[in-house]
Amino acid sequence: MHKKGFIFDLDGVIVDTAKYHYLAWKHLADELGIPFSKEKNEQFKGVSRKRCLEILLEWGNLTVSQTQFDAWLAEKNEDYLRYIETMTAAEILPDVPRVLNYLKENDIPMALGSASKNARTILKKVGLIPYFTSIVDGTQVTKAKPDPEVFLIAARDLNVMPINCVVFEDALAGIEAANRAEMTSIGIGKKEILTEARFVFKDFTEIKLDFIKELAEL
């Protein structure tokens, strides 16, 4: 039997920080006079902060100096950090602890694989740091999802072969990254969107422990 490893994306899988990203981007977009909506925010999911700002400026047909770009990037993040400041364990998405606890009780190593540079801060706020053997975030990757880099670093840290890793992701780019790494991809969200995922669940309340047991080969 091969050792298994489980890798979790953060935003949209463990916590719903997308709503805070939305508020912070909306604030900046309003300031710049660029129309921004919840639908547009969907395109920012799983995408790095820098790339999100590039896209926003493209929508607004704005070309700016590097200094201005960096200032807006910092402004958005400061705004976002104010929202996550008050996060608690109550914001962990339903039934996520049930799955994490089951894996922990069975000594299955877990890693975080997130594009966010604030991942560690958020995990601390919601009290989930002790669950993860490895936390791979936006500060460690050079190539964004759909590149598999983030998940391959996580697999290496867990000392588990990529083919024996299971990835939970809410973004299409993340599912593609997991598939490119030859990992078992599990989509959290809509089947119509996450068409490339090996399995899709609306959220963790739909995931039975028997299914996790099978994946983990327990």
Q: How near is the Cβ of 121 to ligand B16 at its closest, in Å?
A: 9
Angle at 94 between CA 120 and CA 218, to 5 degrees: 85
Active site residue 9: yes
Would you say 21 and 11 are in contact if contact means Cβ atoms under 8 Å apart?
Answer: yes
Q: How near is the Cβ of 45 to ligand B16 at its closest, in Å?
A: 5
Alpha-helix residue ranges (DSSP H) falling in the chain: 18-32, 38-42, 49-59, 66-84, 96-105, 119-126, 149-158, 172-180, 209-216
125 binding ligand B16? (CB under 6 A): no
100 binding ligand B16? (CB under 6 A): no
- Point out which span in 81-89, 104-112, 131-139, 166-174 binds Mg ion (CB under 5 A): 166-174
Active site residue 147: no
30-49: contacts with Mg ion (CB under 5 A): 46
Output 1 or 73, the one with its CB closest to ligand B16. 73
134 binding ligand B16? (CB under 6 A): no
27-86: contacts with ligand B16 (CB under 6 A): 44-49, 52, 77
Closest CA to 47 of 201, 170, 189: 170
Place of tokens 């914001």: 91
